[in-house]
Amino acid sequence: MAIELTKEEKTQIINSHQRNLAYSKYNLEIDIVQENAKTDPSATTLSSLQSQIAEVAGQLSALDAELAAVAAE
């Protein structure tokens, strides 16, 4: 017996993932603020944080596309 998720359930799951990624992105942005507040901010750390933010942005875009696909079902 296969159980199918409803469109609403799929949407809720995607929205939950988007919210978690938004939290992660904001946490990374706060990490940048903290790093920049240091006497000698690490360029390596800042670069890594920027890369992580870019990765999260890509994941958010992928979830936007998936949300559109679910809405079109």
The rounded distance, in Å, linking the Cα atoms of 35 and 21 is 21
**pLDDT value, residue 47:** 98
Give the count of domains, the chain.
1
- Torsions phi, psi for 9 (to 5 deg): -65, -45
Domain of 42, in residue numbers: 7-72
Residue 45 has pLDDT above 90, yes or no: yes
In a domain, 1, yes or no: no
Q: Quick one: pLDDT band at residue 1, thresholds 50, 70, 90?
A: confident
Q: What percent of the chain has pLDDT over 90?
A: 96
| Burial of 44: CB neighbours in 10 Å, binned 0-12, 13-18, 19+ | exposed
* pTM, to two decimals: 0.89
